[in-house]
Structure 1
Amino acid sequence: MTIIFLTVIYAVLQPIRSYENLARKNSTVLTQSTTYQYNNATLANNGDLRTTEQYCAHTAPGYDKAWFQVDFGSPFNILSVKIYFRREGNLSTDWKQYRFRQFYLDVSDLPVTQTTTAERTRCYTDNTTDPNLPPHIIQIPCKQTARFVIVETRYDAPEDFEKGAFLEICELEVYGCSPNCVGDVCDTDGDCTNGCKAGFWGTTCQSVCPINCKQNCHQQNGICYNCTIGYWGDVCNELCPYQCDGNVCDNENGGCIQGCHLGWYGNRCDKACSLSCATGRCEKTNGYCPAGCVGNWAGDKCERCDATHYGAGCSLECSVNCIQQTCNNITGSCTQGCIKGFYGDFCNNTCIGCLEGCYRDTGECMGACSVGTYGTRCEMACSLDCKSGCDKSTGICTLCVDGKFGQACNRTCSTGCTSGCDRQSGYCVCKPAQQSSDPTTDYQPYFYGVLVVLCTSFALHIFSFTWMVRHRMFQRQNRDQSTTNVTPAPTVIYDAVEDNTGYQELGQLSQASHYSQLQKK
């Protein structure tokens, strides 16, 4: 009667709630102390509610204790346990639930093999004695939080032809919810009706919020509402950048909320400030150096050399010959050109004689040369006899010093000129008693001397040529006459003359020729 009363009271008090049968969860494991034939423990949670022997889990005979255990895999909030015990029928000859007398129901966080009854939590003890029978279907209130539900007995029924304690459980249902359900309320699928307690999520509130979630997470997807200090991300599994001040960052993007450590900038403080920032600090958003730059550096971020320095570390000075002494940050070439008097990329070449400076690329003078020089770079000297310099392109003298004339003023005026001569022609005004103002007058004695020598030489050549022709003609005539009238001259003399043409041509004019001898005879 007590059991029936409890069952009725339980049913009245829980009219609108429904709970999950935890015994049917995929994670639940059923075991029993022994097994009789093929009646293993899994027959007690297959959903078949028939109570005849073939549909029931059954322990083996001959043992003084029998137990049956339900393991959920983790603790759950248990509301009640419903047991279907073996009963073959209602006839007097049918097998009844004799072996069900004096069983007890415990819950525990440890398995039956590791605990005694004193170490478990007792939910119910049956006190039925022979000849009375307990109900073969019984629902027992057991509002506990536990991982294991244990049914155990030491009763040896007097009606039994087999000796020992037996359990014949045809179905065992454990109703409850996840311990993480708010109000311990769930539906028949185990879904928490009123949501999850803090720190859990999922329909059954069995999933634990990420460890770095602050207080709670979204109950449908487990995303953290807030992270503990030092973490960010949907599940707070990302470390805040170590350069964040206070190790605090935005939950969604990891941006440093309180600023950056000295020397860093950027949303996540993952960019280094320029080493050339004065004080080593820069603005978080753009890296600008608010206190300016250390020596030789410039720019908002102190990322380049100032105008007068270049090279690695900005340690080299631009040439003083650069305009405003400014040059390229890297190469040192003058960026604004050269000061007057210098040329080249680095303005290290000197314009030699340029009055107005020279072109940077070529070094050629822009304007006139200094007096006394000419050429594209005014590198050549005008003639020393030029007066007031010479033409830049040709070197022709502008004027000559007194007594000189010609393009280069390298010709001397006649000594008979009164005061110099014409710059181009050399003509001049003669001194008194001079015959000509022609500048060639001074050279007449030399001219006539050369002319006399040339004329004398020409006359001698004509005379010698004429004599030779006449001499040859007389020789032929002499040969013809000698053949008939005259005894030939000694051949020695003739041959000597014939053989020595040089002597013949010179004529030995001081002696009588062979022709003269013939004439005398």
Structure 2
Amino acid sequence: MTCNPINGSCLEGCIPGYLGSFCNKTCDEGTYGLNCAQNCSQNCVGFCDSVDGSCTCSSGWTGSPNCSEICSVGRYGLNCSENCSPHCRSESNHCNHRDGHCEHGCDDGFQGSKCEEICNAMFYGENCSARCNENCVNQSCDHITGSCTYGCKPGWRTPNCKQECSAGKYGKDCGNHCSNHCRTMACNHITGSCLEGCTPGYLGSFCNKPCDEGTYGLNCSQNCSQNCLSVCDNVNGSCSCSSGWSGSPNCSEKFSGSGGSAAQSDTTDSGAVTGAVGGAVGAVGLIVVLITGILFIR
């Protein structure tokens, strides 16, 4: 505090923050300290205190007096008061200390500089670059895992609807069974129509229609036997036989009666007729003889 007694000039220089012979001039902007020899920190907002260099820190910096420390990991912004997004891709949840953008990208299912936005509709996964499976209802899926939000379209299995229904099943949630009349039980995984046609006795895309009356077998291509009493079985053509016929399944044998074949029956019947005719002739002859004898006696 010593000065020249005549002109008042400071004899031992100025305290920090001031300049001039009379130490009445503050440091120029951007400098501070003894003889104003130090520059304010670049991390200050505006200018620093001319004496000790203290200042208001810019975004991402902290520390007294001159904002020489960056924000701690997981924080950013003015006074390091903001938390990094929990969806920044990093075990340490690291983001830029100034503006909070995620320097290593986002966790699966998130996008944007700060990873605060979920993927757009129909996309999911890393960088939201994977498209939801087209077999998802409305092609809508979980933005992280890709599992279908509203389930699968008919014919496909959860969780990601990438697999067809297992053999023998079809439709919504694979909850329907192929018709028992599909050959090899193989049907379309979406509609249930039989892929390899029908078992004998059935028609139609779903093999749920029996053969029309009078037909049977594979593709209903065979006609029931004319010897059937009524309609035949649609699968193998078996039926109840009309009079005079027998044989399984389709009444193809002429009925023989008991104790012999049809030929023997015919022979027996012929002999019976011959015997009957012979007997009748003999009876007529006897009557003629009796009448002749009576007339002779008279």
TM class by shorter chain equals: 0.3 to 0.5
Instruction: Output the TM-score relative to the length of structure 2.
Output: 0.41
The structure, 1 or 2, with the larger RCO (C-alpha pairs under 8 Å, 6+ apart) is 1
More strand by share: 1
- Rg larger in structure: 1
